[in-house]
Amino acid sequence: MKEECAVFGIHGSNQAALMTYLGLYSLQHRGQESSGIISSDGGRMYEHKAMGLVSKVFSKETLDGLTGHMAIGHNRYSTTGMSHAVNTQPFLVNCKIGKIAVAHNGNLVNAVELRHEMEEKGSIFRSTMDSEVLLHLIARSKAGTIEEMMVESLLQVRGAYSLVFLLKDRIIAGRDPDGFRPLSLGRDGDTWIVASESCAFDIIGAEYVREVEPGEILVIDGGEPRSIRFAEPAKRLSRCIFEFIYFSRPDSRVFGENVDKVRRKLGCKLADEAPAPADIVISVPDSSNTIALGFSEGSGLRYEFGLIRNHYVGRTFIRPRQDERDWDVRIKFNPVRGVLEDRSIVVVDDSIVRGSTMRKIVSMIRDAGAAQVHLRIGSPSITHSCYYGIDTPTRGELIASSHSVEEIRQYLGVDSLHYLSREGLLSCVDDPENYCTACFCGDYPVERKGRDRVPEAKENKC
């Protein structure tokens, strides 16, 4: 599983672009492919976006050029649309209501169908992104006000979206009725902020106010944000449970819960479900650190740093030819021999996707002298692809879609392997019936339309 995207918006700051830049910095973990900011001074809009990390995309000069008291920003990890500069966000268009920009986190499951319909009628698209479909719908709307145009458009799309729009005089934030992706509201005096995760509020000294509710848009144009319910929230929400397993930062609050607390509970539950005869517990850093801490608390085993992660890797020129494959893992991780040698180790990771990376890590730990390796995974086995904004491989590439736990254990070369049960996972959140768990069972809460209809059988019912 890979990162998704991050959105950020701010209204009422005389340093709106700088605050957005800082917010995007703290949300970098959600997408590293490209980054962008569009600002407005109430009359004109200013734009800068490019491929690369936030630190590379922006300079003092580019930020100085993004004037205005409101801005929106986006970090992208491509899930739909290809990895090209034309697909960087925020996406800005000029239409009959003037300039409008959007930053989007999620996937629209009927985007292909809507796009075909519009292309048949003569619409021309500049990118391959879902978000452009939404802008076309808004531009074609005959409703009276911008809010009504937006509501009319949102009612035509289905799937996962946490959105932040920028118009010349206001910001509008919205979240899909199923609540797939997080989106929170924060404030600092008269300045209002929306962001994918609350860690973006902390960095600029703002406080968390609440979630943007599923089926709600918030209009921020000075004073208190105005709330418009454009759709009833789904009877059972489909918040992405993977936000707690992997995507969100532990210092964030998403879906109203503290990520660190939930992640520790995952580890504790895992220790409860699958204790191991071991001397110490280690994590595969960084995403599994907190789950491993929870495992340590639950099992009484000491938590040690057995793998060191190189944080300065970036993209390398090494291509995955068979004989070179181990380099990607060796560049990223190095084992601490003094910790691992002659010991029985519990290794905690958040998930297993293809299994190839974990197999190399296990081999590295064994080469460092570990006596036994017991692998514990803080999520159930991933058997199905995600269609709601997370980059998962095809179902055939997911090792658990076609192999038993014992077969995976043998392939990875570990002494024992256990996944957290789905029940155990859901017992760690406050509101268990309101989460999507489709990648563990194929029970998709919102079906895809048109030529992208969900193809898989639903044999592993949730």
Q: How far is the CB of 250 from ligand SF4 (least distance, A)?
A: 18
Work out whether 353 is an interface residue with ligand SF4 (CB under 6 A): no
Contact 76, 87 (CB under 8 A): yes
Q: How far is the CB of 392 from ligand SF4 (least distance, A)?
A: 7
| Euclidean distance between the first and the last CA atom of the chain, given in angstroms as a whole number | 20
Contact 11, 170 (CB under 8 A): yes
Among 293, 386, 426, 446, binds ligand SF4 (CB under 6 A): 386
Q: How far is the CB of 320 from ligand SF4 (least distance, A)?
A: 24
Nearer to ligand SF4, 109 or 150 (CB): 109
Among 24, 195, 237, 241, binds ligand SF4 (CB under 6 A): 241
Nearer to ligand SF4, 6 or 438 (CB): 438
Token digits of residue 25: 């910095």
Token digits of residue 263: 């992640």
Nearer to ligand SF4, 91 or 180 (CB): 180
Beta strands in 77-235 (DSSP E): 91-95, 98-105, 162-167, 170-175, 184-188, 191-195, 207-211, 216-220, 226-229
**What is the greatest pairwise CA distance in the chain?**
72
Candidates 65-73, 211-219, 239-247, 335-343: pick the segment binding ligand SF4 (CB under 6 A): 239-247
Contact 440, 1 (CB under 8 A): no
User: CA-CA distances (angstroms) from residue 103 to 72, 75, 89, 96, 222?
Assistant: 7, 9, 6, 20, 20
Catalytic residue check, 5: yes
How many positions of this chain bind ligand SF4 (CB under 6 A)?
Answer: 11
Contact 153, 159 (CB under 8 A): no
Q: How far is the CB of 91 from ligand SF4 (least distance, A)?
A: 22
Contacts 24+ apart (CB under 8 A), 143-147: 146/97, 146/172, 147/172, 147/217, 147/219, 147/228
Contact 134, 156 (CB under 8 A): no
Round the CA-based radius of gyration of the chain to a whole number and report it.
22
Chain centroid to Cα 251, Å, comes to: 15
Work out whether 436 is an interface residue with ligand SF4 (CB under 6 A): yes
**Sequential DSSP letters for 416-442:** EEEEPPHHHHHTTSS-GGGEE-HHHH-
Site for ligand SF4 in 91-150 (CB under 6 A): none
Please tell me the distance from the alpha carbon of residue 306 to that of residue 291, in angstroms, as a whole number.
Answer: 15
Q: How far is the CB of 174 from ligand SF4 (least distance, A)?
A: 18
Nearer to ligand SF4, 271 or 386 (CB): 386
Nearer to ligand SF4, 17 or 390 (CB): 390
Among 240, 262, 375, 446, binds ligand SF4 (CB under 6 A): 240
Which of 5, 268, 428, 436 is catalytic? The answer is 5
Q: Which amino acid is at 394?
A: T
Check the CA dihedral 300-302-307-309 and report its sign.
Answer: positive
Candidates 24-32, 226-234, 347-355, 431-439: pick the segment binding ligand SF4 (CB under 6 A): 431-439
Nearer to ligand SF4, 254 or 281 (CB): 254
Candidates 121-129, 131-139, 164-172, 237-245: pick the segment binding ligand SF4 (CB under 6 A): 237-245
Helix (H, G, I), strand (E, B), or coil: what is residue 230? coil
Work out whether 38 is an interface residue with ligand SF4 (CB under 6 A): no
Q: How far is the CB of 34 from ligand SF4 (least distance, A)?
A: 21
Work out whether 244 is an interface residue with ligand SF4 (CB under 6 A): no
Check the CA dihedral 159-164-165-169 and report its sign.
Answer: positive
Helices (H), 181-278: 199-203, 242, 259-273
Among 388, 398, 401, 414, binds ligand SF4 (CB under 6 A): 388
Work out whether 390 is an interface residue with ligand SF4 (CB under 6 A): yes
Q: How far is the CB of 300 from ligand SF4 (least distance, A)?
A: 31
Among 8, 21, 58, 180, binds ligand SF4 (CB under 6 A): 180
Among 242, 244, 295, 303, binds ligand SF4 (CB under 6 A): 242
Work out whether 437 is an interface residue with ligand SF4 (CB under 6 A): yes
3-state helix, strand, coil in the chain (%, to 5): 30, 25, 45
Work out whether 419 is an interface residue with ligand SF4 (CB under 6 A): no
Nearer to ligand SF4, 217 or 436 (CB): 436
Candidates 144-152, 171-179, 268-276, 384-392: pick the segment binding ligand SF4 (CB under 6 A): 384-392
Residues found near ligand SF4 in the complex (CB under 6 A)? 180, 240-242, 386, 388, 390, 436-439
**Residues assigned a catalytic role:** 5
